[in-house]
Amino acid sequence: MTAFDIALAPLWPYLMLILVGFLPSEIWRALAVLLARGLREDSEVITWVRAVATTLLAGVVVKLLASPSGALVLAPAIIRFGAVAVGVLAFFAMRRSVVAGVLAGECALIAGAYMALSE
Protein backbone atom coordinates (compact mmCIF):
# COMPACT_ATOMS: atom_id res chain seq x y z
CA MET A 1 0.00 0.00 0.00
CA THR A 2 1.16 3.48 -0.75
CA ALA A 3 1.10 6.37 1.69
CA PHE A 4 -1.79 7.83 -0.30
CA ASP A 5 -3.83 4.64 0.16
CA ILE A 6 -3.11 4.56 3.89
CA ALA A 7 -4.14 8.21 4.27
CA LEU A 8 -7.42 7.74 2.37
CA ALA A 9 -8.40 4.35 3.80
CA PRO A 10 -10.23 5.77 6.85
CA LEU A 11 -12.00 8.35 4.68
CA TRP A 12 -13.33 5.88 2.11
CA PRO A 13 -16.83 5.49 3.66
CA TYR A 14 -17.25 9.27 3.82
CA LEU A 15 -16.12 9.74 0.24
CA MET A 16 -18.64 7.12 -0.90
CA LEU A 17 -21.36 8.83 1.14
CA ILE A 18 -20.64 12.11 -0.62
CA LEU A 19 -20.43 10.48 -4.04
CA VAL A 20 -23.54 8.31 -3.77
CA GLY A 21 -25.72 10.22 -1.31
CA PHE A 22 -24.90 13.90 -1.45
CA LEU A 23 -23.98 14.71 -5.05
CA PRO A 24 -27.04 13.18 -6.77
CA SER A 25 -29.28 15.16 -4.44
CA GLU A 26 -27.34 18.39 -4.95
CA ILE A 27 -27.77 18.23 -8.73
CA TRP A 28 -31.54 18.39 -8.32
CA ARG A 29 -31.30 21.17 -5.74
CA ALA A 30 -29.15 23.28 -8.06
CA LEU A 31 -31.57 22.67 -10.92
CA ALA A 32 -34.49 23.69 -8.70
CA VAL A 33 -32.74 26.92 -7.74
CA LEU A 34 -32.18 27.76 -11.41
CA LEU A 35 -35.78 26.99 -12.35
CA ALA A 36 -37.28 28.84 -9.37
CA ARG A 37 -35.51 32.13 -10.05
CA GLY A 38 -38.41 33.53 -12.05
CA LEU A 39 -41.13 32.46 -9.61
CA ARG A 40 -42.66 34.72 -7.00
CA GLU A 41 -42.51 33.52 -3.41
CA ASP A 42 -46.30 33.61 -3.10
CA SER A 43 -47.01 31.78 -6.38
CA GLU A 44 -49.16 28.65 -6.32
CA VAL A 45 -46.29 26.43 -7.45
CA ILE A 46 -44.03 27.54 -4.59
CA THR A 47 -46.91 27.20 -2.11
CA TRP A 48 -47.53 23.64 -3.33
CA VAL A 49 -43.83 22.73 -3.17
CA ARG A 50 -43.61 24.12 0.37
CA ALA A 51 -46.68 22.11 1.41
CA VAL A 52 -45.29 18.88 -0.07
CA ALA A 53 -41.88 19.43 1.57
CA THR A 54 -43.50 20.10 4.95
CA THR A 55 -45.68 17.00 4.63
CA LEU A 56 -42.71 14.80 3.74
CA LEU A 57 -40.72 16.13 6.69
CA ALA A 58 -43.66 15.57 9.05
CA GLY A 59 -44.00 12.02 7.75
CA VAL A 60 -40.34 11.27 8.38
CA VAL A 61 -40.55 12.67 11.92
CA VAL A 62 -43.66 10.60 12.71
CA LYS A 63 -42.01 7.47 11.29
CA LEU A 64 -38.92 8.05 13.43
CA LEU A 65 -41.08 8.58 16.51
CA ALA A 66 -43.51 5.71 16.00
CA SER A 67 -41.21 3.02 14.64
CA PRO A 68 -37.57 4.00 15.08
CA SER A 69 -34.68 2.02 13.68
CA GLY A 70 -31.01 1.71 14.48
CA ALA A 71 -29.70 3.34 17.63
CA LEU A 72 -32.92 5.33 18.06
CA VAL A 73 -34.64 2.10 19.15
CA LEU A 74 -32.66 2.26 22.40
CA ALA A 75 -34.22 5.61 23.36
CA PRO A 76 -37.56 5.13 25.13
CA ALA A 77 -40.65 6.59 23.45
CA ILE A 78 -41.15 9.17 26.21
CA ILE A 79 -37.67 10.56 25.53
CA ARG A 80 -38.26 10.68 21.76
CA PHE A 81 -41.59 12.50 22.16
CA GLY A 82 -40.11 14.76 24.85
CA ALA A 83 -37.26 15.73 22.54
CA VAL A 84 -39.76 16.70 19.85
CA ALA A 85 -41.66 18.81 22.39
CA VAL A 86 -38.44 20.54 23.46
CA GLY A 87 -37.56 21.21 19.83
CA VAL A 88 -40.99 22.68 19.06
CA LEU A 89 -40.88 24.89 22.16
CA ALA A 90 -37.39 26.12 21.25
CA PHE A 91 -38.55 26.78 17.69
CA PHE A 92 -41.29 29.12 18.90
CA ALA A 93 -39.26 30.59 21.77
CA MET A 94 -36.45 31.59 19.42
CA ARG A 95 -38.77 33.41 16.99
CA ARG A 96 -39.42 30.45 14.70
CA SER A 97 -35.76 29.52 14.30
CA VAL A 98 -35.48 26.09 12.68
CA VAL A 99 -31.83 25.79 13.69
CA ALA A 100 -32.64 26.48 17.36
CA GLY A 101 -35.50 23.97 17.31
CA VAL A 102 -33.43 21.23 15.72
CA LEU A 103 -30.45 21.80 18.02
CA ALA A 104 -32.60 21.90 21.16
CA GLY A 105 -34.48 18.75 20.17
CA GLU A 106 -31.28 16.94 19.29
CA CYS A 107 -29.61 17.94 22.56
CA ALA A 108 -32.70 16.82 24.51
CA LEU A 109 -32.73 13.47 22.70
CA ILE A 110 -29.02 12.85 23.26
CA ALA A 111 -29.15 13.88 26.92
CA GLY A 112 -32.31 11.88 27.61
CA ALA A 113 -31.03 8.77 25.87
CA TYR A 114 -27.70 9.03 27.66
CA MET A 115 -29.41 9.29 31.06
CA ALA A 116 -31.81 6.45 30.27
CA LEU A 117 -29.09 4.13 29.03
CA SER A 118 -26.59 4.91 31.78
CA GLU A 119 -28.90 3.69 34.56
In a domain, 103, yes or no: yes
pLDDT in tens, 31-67: 988 988 888 889 998 899 899 999 999 999 999 999 9
Helix ranges restricted to H, 1-119: 3-8, 12-17, 23-36, 44-66, 77-93, 98-117
Q: CA–CA separation, 18 vs 51, rounded Å? A: 28
In a domain, 64, yes or no: no
In a domain, 53, yes or no: no
Report pLDDT for 81: 97
In a domain, 1, yes or no: no
Residue 104's pLDDT band (boundaries 50, 70, 90)? Answer: very high
Q: Which pTM was predicted?
A: 0.65
Give the CA dihedral 36, 41, 43, 47, nearest 10 degrees. 90
Domain that holds residue 75: 69-119
Number of domains in the chain: 1
In a domain, 102, yes or no: yes
In a domain, 98, yes or no: yes
